[in-house]
Amino acid sequence: MKREAQNLLQKVDEKSEKCTVGCPILDRILNGGIPTKSITEVVGESGSGKTQICLQLVLSAQLPPSHGGLNGSSLYIYTEYPFPIRRLKQLSLSLLSSHPNHLLLSSSDPLSRIILRGISSAENFVELLPDIELCLRYWKSRLLPIRVIVVDSIAALFRSEFGNCCFDLKRRSSLFFKISGGLKSLAERFGLVVVVTNQVVDFIEGNESVRIGNFSELCSSGRRVCPALGISWANCVNSRIFLSKDQTGIKITRFSSLLFAPHLPLSSSQFVIFYIISRAGHRFGFGLKP
């Protein structure tokens, strides 16, 4: 019975649309890319590559399906300031140089198909959901409808204004479900890729029974960590990717691990964030590679 259920999920996954993240290794872990009609969480400490993946995702979404994209625009919701617009511009140049024959990319600026919106609280996010739906309906009739929503990061919305009293915990969980429920509804009705980033916190010793997805423990930069926002938020996402890093001197090694997904097996890999050097020797972009 269990194997039949897994086979059914794999068949559903094979039929669903996906969007490349711009790295063959990460795409292979995800069986072709990040799927539509669900919420995928990318969790990791600062500097692990979360925002890098999100920036490449919103650019890759503009590519045709034959190149791993969705022929779509994107909505990028950021909660931490300032937004890395310089890095996004550098990545857009990299995208143009790597796809010189793509008429849609060469005819206009890829940045014009990325909508940026900053928010500062969870309540603002809930109030924004109806406006997001109106935006999706408006862009649906345009050349490139919105096919990707990124929230970078969800943890920042709950960082300081919630205490540990029963009232605050209940209010926080309620906002979790309102935000995730709204995003899932939009993802299913409009065929969207939805990606949220999350941060990590230090793991508190003494609760050795905690199991996080497919891993009994997670480590990054030589310390044991766990995703922020706890089990309540973990139940709000469909898939979780954990990014970690290990630094030796000036060398930084990054790893990606699929913690859980209803349709994919346990997997992990190493990847590199690299700089693109122009012929004149100037550093003008970033990228991901295995």
User: Helix and strand tally (H, E) in the chain?
Assistant: 8, 14
Most confident option among 241-245, 254-258, 265-269: 241-245
Among 86, 83, 21, residue whose Cα is nearest residue 53: 21
In terms of C-beta density within 10 A (0-12 exposed, 13-18 middle, 19 or more buried), how is residue 284 classed?
A: middle
Confidence band of 178 (pLDDT split at 50, 70, 90): very high
Is the pLDDT score of 7 beyond 60? no
pTM: 0.86
Nearby residues of 207 by Cβ (< 8 Å), 6 or more positions away = none
Bridge partners (DSSP) of residue 236 are: none
Per-residue pLDDT, 9: 47
Average pLDDT over residues 121-125: 94
Dist CA 288 CA 88 (whole Å): 14
Helices (H), 141-192: 166-190
Dist CA 290 CA 124 (whole Å): 38
Other C-beta atoms within 10 Å of 143: how many?
11
Average pLDDT over residues 257-265: 85
Is the pLDDT score of 253 beyond 50? yes
Residues of the chain above pLDDT 70, percent:
76
